[in-house]
Structure 1
C-alpha cells in the first residue's frame, strides 16, 4: 500500500499560514486559546518536514502509513476548526463594530453574546492540541525503516516489452509503417530529427519502438544504433555507458560523465545514427542526455518514448520535432490480441463466456497491457465464475493479484506527479467509471475544495486549468469535445486508471464511494468526501441513507435519484454539494445552515425554488441552477459577496445584481422585475468575464424588441452566449471590446426574411463564432448569410465560424 499524501501534504503546508492569519485577525480569543493556536502552528510546521520525508519513501512500512493517516485526520479537523472559527463567532455578533463609547459597548455585548460559541471553540482546540501531542510523541518514537534493497523490489513489467515475440504482436503493422515514414524520410531534411512516441501507461510505446528498431531496413539504414531504457530513477552514467557499448566502444570504467559524453559524441559525429531513449520521465535528465547527440546533418534520428507529451520536445525547433501519438487498439485488434493470449491459436470465445468477454473488452478499452494481463490470467480457464472474478474485478479487489504488473506501471505514473497533481487526479475517483466530467465543473470543484494554490499574477481558475492540462499531457486524463482553441469542454479517465485511483482513494480515505442501498460506511472510516450512486431500478427511488455520519464530510456528490441525497442538516463542514443531473424532487431543507459551502450545483434537477435565506451562505463561490424549474432567484442572493459564478440559466435575477463585484460568470434571464434595461445595468460591471443571456426578445407585428449591447460596455467579457427566440441582436460601436467567443442560439429566423443580427463588425477581438438555429427557414438562412459576410475584418479566414441549422452543419 502506498501513501496518498497529495491533499494531505498541501494541507499541512498551508495550515501553519492559516493559523498565523487567524492570530492576526481582530477576534477576541479566550485566555489561553492564542497560546494553543501558536503551539498548534509550530507542531504542524514541524510535522510538515516529516511528511515530506515520508513522501520520498518508495516502500513505506505499516507504522509510517498509520502515522500519516492520523496526521491526515488531524489536519482535516484542524482546517475545519479554522474555517468555522470566524463564522461561528461572527454569527452571534450584531452590527459591525464602531468606534467610541457606543463601539466599546457594542463589542462588550457581542463578547457576551458569543461567549458560548467561543467556549466551544476553545474546548475543540484543546482536543486538537491533545491529538497533536500524541502524534508528536509517536513521531519521536518513530524509526524510519531503511528502503527495501533494490534486488527485493518487483521487476519492472515493462522489461518484457523488449523481448516480446514479433509473431505475437497485434495491430502494430500500421503504426510501425507510420513511424517508419517519419523516421526514415530524409528528403529535404538531413538535420537531426527527434520523434516522441507518446501515450498512456500500457499503450505499447516500448513495443512499438522496439518493433521498429528491429526492422531490417532500420538496421541497414543507419551507421550506428543504440536502444536504452531510462526509467524513473535512472543511473545516468550506466545509461550512457550502455549507449557507448552498443556503439562499439567498450567502456572500461573510471571515466566521469563528461568523458563518457565526449566519447559518444566522437563516435556519432561523422555517422548517421539512430538512438532510441525508452521510458523518459525527466526534463533535467534529457537536458544532459541530449549533449551526447551532435548535429551532423547526416539524417540522424532520435526516438523517445514517454508518457508525457511535453517531453523532450521543448528544446528543439518545430521543423525538427515530431510527435507520434500511439492510439489504443481497435475493437477488432483488441479482440484478436485477447483471444491469442487467452486461447491457443485464437480459438473463438466459448458461447457461455461471450457476454463476460464483451464486458472485459469494454473495461480494457483497447489498452494492450490490460488486455494481455487479463487474458493471460484467464488462459485455459472455462469457468464463468473465474472470468467474472478475474476479468471484471477492480484493481482494489482481493482478486487483483494477476494485475500486479498493470498496477505497478500505473504507480510509476502516479508517483511521478507532484503532490497537488496527485490530489487532483484522485478527485476524479468521485465520478463513476467512463463518466464524462465537465471541465468547468471539475475546475470549480477543485477550487472549492481548496486544492488550488493562489498565485499573485495568475487566477486560481487558470492555475486549475494548468493542472488539468498537465494531467492530460501525462496521458492520465483523456480530453473530450475540444473547443476552437483546443481546450477540452469535458474529460474522463480510462476504466483501468479509474480503478487505480478508486483504489488509492479507498486505501487512504480520500473519498468514500457508496451505493445508495448500502447502510454503513466501509471499514467504519470517517467520511470526508462522499460519492453516492443510486443503482436502483429505473423508476424505483433510492432509500436515503440515514445512518452514515457525515458531520466531517467536505463534499457530497450524488448520481441517480435525488431521494438518495443525505439530509443537509447533518453536513456541518461541507464545501461542495453537487446534485447535478439527479432525478426526482430535491429537498433543500437545512441548506442555509451549510456555512462553509462554496460550490452548489442543482443543475438538471427537479428543483423549483431556492430558499429565501440562501444569502446566508457567505462562502458560496459557485451557484448552478441551470436547466431547473427555478424561475426567479431570491433577493438575498445579493448578499453573497464571494459569489464568482452565478449560473441561473433562464431564471430572473433580482435588481442590484450589477453591484455583486465578485461575479465573473453570469448566466441568467435578460430581465429583472423592475429594471427597464437589464443589459445596460450590468454593462458597466468591471469583473464579468463570461455572460450568458436567455432573452425573451421576440418578433411581433409592427414591433421588434431587440437585445442591444451598448457602446463601451462589458469591457472585460471574453465569452458571450445569447439565447433568443428570434435573431434580434445589435452590437453598437465599441461594444464588447474584449469578447473572443460569441455564441448565438436562436429558435427560428425572422418572418420578413431579414438577418436580424447587426453590428458584428464592431467586435474587434472576436476569434470564434457559433451560430445555431433550431428550425430551418428563410429568416434563418438570411441570418446565416449575413453573419458569414459581416465579420470580414474580424475573422478574415472564417476558420472559427461554426454554423448549425436544424442539426445540420453549414
Structure 2
C-alpha cells in the first residue's frame, strides 16, 4: 500500500518552530498552557522522526497508513490553533512600548480571560489527541512494522528493454534524430554525452534502447545499464557494467575498486554506454568517474526525468540534451489501435466519439496509451469505453491494470523533497488542462504556508525555485516563458493530473467535487475545489452536511452560486473565486481573520465591504476586471498586504504608507489626484506597478503619466494601460526597471509618438508595445518605441510589438 506523507512531513517540520515562536512571545498564557505547548512541541518532534521513517520506505501496512492519517489531522488542527491564538487573544496587535500601552495591554488581558479559557480547553483537547496517537504508535509497534509486509512490485520499466523494433510507433524520427546527435555532431574524437530527457512514461528507455541497438556495432565496447531512484543502486550499476564487459566480477570490491576496473577496461577503447534512468547529481557524480576521456570518439547516452541532469557537472565539452516529444495525435491513435485491436487500422464506428475522449485523457503519453489500450482490448462496448473516458485513469474502481503506470509516476513523486511534493499536490485543485497563472499559484502557495523565506531568498524566489524544479523534473509543463525563462503560466499533463488527484484524495489533501453532486464523505474538508457548471441558484456547497469550518482554502470554478457561506469558514487562508459567473455574496468576509489570499478577479463584484481593513493577515487582494470602482479607505490598514491588484479601481489616500506592498495595480493619475505618481514614486519596496489611466482626466499639458527622476527605484516591472500614448520617463527614472509593457487603444490624433524618455531606462531587458487599433498615430509610436528599445536592447531579443493582434 502506498502512503502519501509529503505534505504532512512539510507541515510537521514547521509546527515545532511555530510552537517555539509562540512560547517566545510576551503573551500571558494561563497556568499550564505554556507547559502544554512545550509538550506538543516535543511530541511533534518525535512524530516528525517517525514520519521521516515512513517516507524512506516504499511499502506500508494499513495500520501505519491509518496512524499517519491521524497525525495529519491533528497537525492541521494544531496549526489552526496556533494561527488563531494571537488574533483571539489580542487581535494580533504588536506590542508597543510606553506606560499607556502597558496599561492597555493589562486591560486587554483581563478582557480576554474568557477567550483564554476557551483557548486553554482547546489545547487540552489537542494534547489528549496527541497522547492517544502516541500511545497508538507504541501499542501497535508501528515503528517496527512500517515497510515490512509488502513485496515490492515488478519494475514496469523492464518491458521497455524488450520492445521489438517493428512494434515501436511514432519514434522513427526520434530514433533518427538521436542517432545523428550521438554519431555525427561535434568532434568525432572527443567524448560526447547525449541526454534524453522527458516525463515519466514518455518512452525515454524505449528510444535509448532503439538507438543503442542501432549503433552498438560501431563501437568496440558497449553496455546498457539502468540505475533507478535509490542511491544505493549506483554500485549495482557499476557491477552490472563490469559484468557485461568482462563476463564476471570478483565480488567483495568497494565502489572505488569497481570504478577503477571499469576505467581500465575503457581506457583504450571506443565505447558506447547507455545509463538508463538517472535521477540525481549524486548518482551522476559517482558513475561518471567510470568514463575516461580517451579521445577515441566514445559516447554516453543518458535517460532522465530531470532536464538539468547530467549536464551540470562533467568536464566533457560536448553535451547535448534531447527533449523527447509526446506522440502526435496520429501516432497516438496508431499505437492505441495497434495495441487494442492488433491488426485493425480504424476504430469501430460505434466507438469513434468516445475514442476521441479516451485519447484526450492519454495526452500523447506512450505508456498511458499502451496501458489504456490494454484495458480496452477485450471490451468493445461503448458504455465500457465511455466509463473510462469520463473517469480518473489512476484512482477509481475501473483503473485496475494501471498499477504499472501509477508505479512509474510514484517514483517521480517519491523522489521529491517534502515541500516541492506538497506544491505538486496543490495543483490537483485546478481542473484538467487548466492554464494556471504563475503569480496566482505562487501567491497561493505562500498564503497556504508552504513556502518559507530563506536567509538570502524571498518567499517568491523560493516558490519559483520549487516550480522550476517541478518543471525540470517534467511534472509540470511551462507556458509563455519570459526574458528570465520564468513561465507566465503552467499546466499539468492529463495523466499527471489524474495521478496527483489520486494522491490528493488518498491524503485528504484536497476535496474535489462537482457542485451538483455533493458526495457523502465523512472526511474533514481541508481544501475545497468546487466546479459548478450550473447557471441556476443551486448552492450545493452551502449544504450544512459539509464540514467546512476546518477548510483552509476554497476555490470555485464556474458559477458563483455554489460559493459556501463565508460565515462557516473559520480558518480559511485562501478564497479564490477568479472567473466565477453570477453574483458574488461577500457577507461575512470581514470575519475571515486568517484570510491571506482573496481573489475576485473577473467576477461581477461591484464593491468591497467597508471593514475589509479588519483582515489583518491579508497578503493578496485581486479585484481586477470587476465592477469595483473604488477601494474602501480601510484598505490602508492592511499592514501585511503585499499584492494590491485593484485594476482600474481608484485608491484611497495613504497607499504610499503601506510598507509591505510589492505589487500594485490600480487606476492612474487623474485631475483629482495629480500627485499620485509623485507620492508612490518614493515607495521603496514596490517591485511591480500596473497603471490604468483615463486620458479624459489627464492634465492638459499632454505629458500624461510622468515618471520622475530618482523615483520608483525598486520597481522591476511596469505596465501602463491607457487609451492613447501619453508617457514620459525623466532621466534617472526607474533605475531598476527590467520589463516594460505599454498597452494603448489608439495613437495620438496629431500623429506624435507620445512616448518619450525610454532611452533613459538603461536596465531594461524586455519591451512589449500593444495597440488595439491600427492608425497612423499608432504606427508613429511603434517606430519611436522600436527605435528607442533597440538602442537600449541591442540584441532585440525581447522586443515585442503588436498592432490589432498582428506582430510588427
TM over 0.5: yes
Contact 1:541/1:561 (CA < 8 Å) preserved in 2?
A: no
Whole-Å Cα distance in 1 between the matches of residues 463 and 95 of structure 2?
35
Aligned to 2:257: 259
Aligned to 1:15: 15
**Cα drift, residue 390 of structure 1:** 4.1
SS of 2:583's partner is coil
Whole-Å Cα distance in 1 between the matches of residues 97 and 255 of structure 2?
70
Q: Please tell me whether residue 516 in structure 1 is matched to residue 546 in structure 2.
A: no
Contact 2:526/2:550 (CA < 8 Å) preserved in 1?
A: yes
Contact 1:516/1:542 (CA < 8 Å) preserved in 2?
A: yes
Whole-Å Cα distance in 1 between the matches of residues 443 and 8 of structure 2?
20
Aligned to 1:223: 220
**Cα drift, residue 150 of structure 1:** 11
Whole-Å Cα distance in 2 between the matches of residues 318 and 579 of structure 1?
51
Contact 1:698/1:728 (CA < 8 Å) preserved in 2?
A: no
Cα pair distance change 1:679/1:516, threshold 3 Å: same
**Cα drift, residue 175 of structure 1:** 0.3
TM-score (norm 1): 0.96
Q: Deviations along 1:380-408, whole A, 9 cap, x unmatched?
A: 32112222334543111011111111011
**Cα drift, residue 540 of structure 1:** 7.0
Contact 2:64/2:146 (CA < 8 Å) preserved in 1?
A: no
Whole-Å Cα distance in 1 between the matches of residues 12 and 46 of structure 2?
10
TM-score (norm 2): 0.97
Aligned mate of 1:637, from 609, 616, 635: 635
Q: Deviations along 1:556-578, whole A, 9 cap, x unmatched?
A: 00000011100000000000000
**Cα drift, residue 542 of structure 1:** 5.2
**Cα drift, residue 518 of structure 1:** 2.8
SS of 1:524's partner is coil
Aligned to 2:380: 382
Aligned to 2:202: 203
1:376-775 maps to which residues of 2 (within 5 A)? Answer: 376-394=374-392, 395-520=394-519, 522-536=520-534, 543-547=540-544, 548-671=546-669, 674-697=672-695, 704-775=702-773
**Cα drift, residue 430 of structure 1:** 0.5
Contact 1:653/1:671 (CA < 8 Å) preserved in 2?
A: no
**Cα drift, residue 188 of structure 1:** 3.3
**Cα drift, residue 671 of structure 1:** 3.2
**Cα drift, residue 259 of structure 1:** 2.2
Q: Please tell me whether residue 64 in structure 1 is matched to residue 64 in structure 2.
A: yes
Contact 1:716/1:738 (CA < 8 Å) preserved in 2?
A: yes
Whole-Å Cα distance in 2 between the matches of residues 564 and 480 of structure 1?
30
Whole-Å Cα distance in 2 between the matches of residues 329 and 434 of structure 1?
17
Contact 1:59/1:148 (CA < 8 Å) preserved in 2?
A: yes
SS of 1:400's partner is coil
Q: Deviations along 1:753-803, whole A, 9 cap, x unmatched?
A: 111100000001001000010000111000111111123441112221100
Whole-Å Cα distance in 2 between the matches of residues 484 and 540 of structure 1?
45
Contact 2:711/2:734 (CA < 8 Å) preserved in 1?
A: yes
Aligned to 2:74: 74
1:160-171 maps to which residues of 2 (within 5 A)? Answer: 160-171=159-170
Contact 1:195/1:303 (CA < 8 Å) preserved in 2?
A: yes
Contact 2:192/2:297 (CA < 8 Å) preserved in 1?
A: yes
Cα pair distance change 1:136/1:369, threshold 3 Å: same
Aligned to 1:29: 29
SS of 2:338's partner is helix
Q: Unmatched 5+ residue regions in structure 2? A: none
SS of 1:197's partner is strand
Task: Report how many residues are paired.
Answer: 804
Contact 1:654/1:672 (CA < 8 Å) preserved in 2?
A: no
Which shows bigger deviation, 657-666 or 795-804?
795-804
Whole-Å Cα distance in 2 between the matches of residues 705 and 332 of structure 1?
56
Whole-Å Cα distance in 2 between the matches of residues 266 and 150 of structure 1?
43
**Cα drift, residue 607 of structure 1:** 0.4
Contact 1:740/1:765 (CA < 8 Å) preserved in 2?
A: yes
Q: Please tell me whether residue 332 in structure 1 is matched to residue 330 in structure 2.
A: yes
Contact 2:613/2:636 (CA < 8 Å) preserved in 1?
A: yes
Contact 2:769/2:800 (CA < 8 Å) preserved in 1?
A: yes
Aligned to 1:299: 297
Aligned mate of 1:232, from 218, 226, 229: 229
RMSD between aligned residues? 2.0
SS of 1:733's partner is coil
**Cα drift, residue 239 of structure 1:** 1.6
Whole-Å Cα distance in 2 between the matches of residues 710 and 103 of structure 1?
41
Contact 1:697/1:707 (CA < 8 Å) preserved in 2?
A: no
SS of 1:302's partner is strand
Q: Unmatched 5+ residue regions in structure 1? A: none
Aligned to 1:352: 350
**Cα drift, residue 222 of structure 1:** 1.1
Q: Deviations along 1:612-638, whole A, 9 cap, x unmatched?
A: 000000000000000000010000000
Whole-Å Cα distance in 1 between the matches of residues 474 and 620 of structure 2?
29
Q: Deviations along 1:334-385, whole A, 9 cap, x unmatched?
A: 0000000011213311111111110001010100000001101111321122
Whole-Å Cα distance in 2 between the matches of residues 750 and 383 of structure 1?
65
Whole-Å Cα distance in 2 between the matches of residues 103 and 332 of structure 1?
74
Contact 2:767/2:789 (CA < 8 Å) preserved in 1?
A: no
Aligned mate of 1:323, from 318, 321, 336: 321
Aligned mate of 2:287, from 289, 292, 299: 289
**Cα drift, residue 104 of structure 1:** 5.3
Aligned to 1:796: 794
Aligned to 2:273: 275
**Cα drift, residue 245 of structure 1:** 2.5
Q: Deviations along 1:726-748, whole A, 9 cap, x unmatched?
A: 11100000000000000000000
Whole-Å Cα distance in 2 between the matches of residues 562 and 427 of structure 1?
22
